[in-house]
Structure 1
């Protein structure tokens, strides 16, 4: 019954979004012209590590235990085929004013995620906890930053960030989870995980995701030393054999030079998002805290392989997540640390998930 409710809620969400999009596409003016500053004309390189070693509640290997991602975001693209622009431009909604210009980038990233149950000592199948799983993937993204002229300063300010992403990969032994985890445990002198023979079997994966972020309410609290606050709401959705979900949330920030980016990059399974950042090279920083809610239709790491021949547990249709951390930017480098806390996401074990995420991003 609960699975049917989740699917119905997800379908209703997608249908409502479709109605908004159809109405917007009917009346939306042509896409804004491209633009690029000197900072936006550089490549962005990303290295991200996520691990439950940062879990202070229960520092052990379980649930989402490790993730690594490297990525590249192109310099601003000033010429793109009109057909591609038309197909990949998601219209505005909620009465949002038209933007004056847009910065378009393409991105490529590669990553691996590893998931384990709580008991990694037994080699026997575990039927009341999540299955072992690893995911090796490549992501191909289009990222559009929309800008609008600020009447006070006359500067084109980024006001919205859209990310459209295609994920291709494989789940199962071919993803190398056992090799990576147990060899790393050998290096650091930690006991091996013994249940990898029970992991999800090989399955190719494909998924399409979209996320939109807005930058709102930026207010200067003090001019000297400068201190600002703002709020970054976001919505997102994903469809594929790895994950089906709808997502809504937001992040509050306080610090200096908040206009440099759209908030911290988010951990998987959400879209990485805000790799791009701007700035004049001066020192910037901010503390942040955010929350998200998800309607989940599918999570292969809980529901098991699509063909049904694997271990599985029962995913919860509604989950929530809180994030908090610190971001620092200086001379084209941004360092971000995020602590993540998620509500229980399957019924067989009533436990929360906690892990940390470190992201290093630089322009070149």
Structure 2
């Protein structure tokens, strides 16, 4: 009975988030369309099934809006202001999925279901992204149901240790992300090339970290584009892109100084399985983005260094695919 209640709570939260997303999509009546993006992240492309094993995200970025009182505080005169709404799920598991008593030194089981509301300000190729993130972890996040449904559908084994995940708990986090104007621009043959710096931080019950890095893009006649949509804590793009036919390849790196990671160290408010988080984690990524008419497709391959001290199988690799549409 309690489990069904948790599922209903999560379903209500998901419905509220979807309603907010759809209402935002139809609230803007400007000539420039908004952008709807779907993102999938999974480690199947690397032959792994462990740790951060799956991520799903649907997001909507509005057309430029007239700033409200809060948005005027976060922007300057002349900035282009957009709003973003998203719903995401992430799934974390240990390496050994075949036991109902997982190794205490391996990654704990956990699911995370969350919505985000963001303000995006842009000026001359630079942007600032302010995000409020609210969600649930534990049983109510439906990680077990999602993973085992997928595995049953494709005739894979089912994970046996989900009963060890933490109890359902509400979460809140705030984040700030900054992408500057290109620090270096040039030519490689007939192609444009640029390097763009990034930085940010997150604080709350899910993650406390500070991060910095950069991205190189190479392509014909580059226009401002902040990279493909990703799911935090990855090197994230804005979700907004300019219509037109273009493409570019990219490579990036982001380092994070980690003060707290709920998925490794557990909650501030309940006892659960934990491992010792690494203080510094780095992501290395590369991929390609193609814009065709009103659509943008991207593919990214990510290599992530060890996230916890007893992780004895090296870092992790996973892929990310996203497709965005101008509505």
Following TM superposition, the consecutive aligned residue runs of length 4 or more in structure 1 with deviations greater than 4 angstroms are: none
Compute the displacement of 1:308 (Å).
4.4
Among 98, 101, 105, the residue aligned to 1:128: 105
Alpha-carbon separation, structure 2, partners of 1:341 and 1:267: 15
Residue of structure 1 in register with 2:280 after alignment: 318
Compute the displacement of 1:71 (Å).
0.8
Alpha-carbon separation, structure 1, partners of 2:109 and 2:34: 36
Residue of structure 1 in register with 2:11 after alignment: none
Alpha-carbon separation, structure 2, partners of 1:119 and 1:252: 37
Alpha-carbon separation, structure 2, partners of 1:264 and 1:185: 27
* Structure 2 SS opposite 1:119: coil
Structure 2 unaligned runs (5+)? 1-29
In 2, are the aligned partners of 1:211 and 1:273 still within 8 Å (CA)?
A: no
Residue of structure 2 in register with 1:17 after alignment: none
In 1, are the aligned partners of 2:85 and 2:115 still within 8 Å (CA)?
A: yes
Residue by residue over 1:232-287, the C-alpha shift from the partner in whole angstroms, topping out at 9 and shown as x without a partner, is: 110010001100000000010111242141222333224743211114x2x21111
TM-score when normalising by structure 2: 0.87
Structure showing greater radius of gyration is: 1
Aligned residues: 297
In 2, are the aligned partners of 1:232 and 1:263 still within 8 Å (CA)?
A: no
Compute the displacement of 1:202 (Å).
1.1
Alpha-carbon separation, structure 2, partners of 1:292 and 1:268: 12
Residue of structure 2 in register with 1:352 after alignment: 315
Q: Within 5 Å, which residues of 2 pair with 1:128-147?
A: 128-147=105-124
Alpha-carbon separation, structure 1, partners of 2:288 and 2:94: 30
Residue of structure 1 in register with 2:218 after alignment: 254
Residue of structure 1 in register with 2:162 after alignment: 196
> Is the counterpart of residue 118 in structure 1 residue 95 in structure 2?
yes
Structure 1 unaligned runs (5+)? 1-36, 92-99, 148-158
CA RMSD between the two structures = 1.8
> Is the counterpart of residue 170 in structure 1 residue 136 in structure 2?
yes
Alpha-carbon separation, structure 2, partners of 1:54 and 1:142: 33
Residue of structure 1 in register with 2:25 after alignment: none
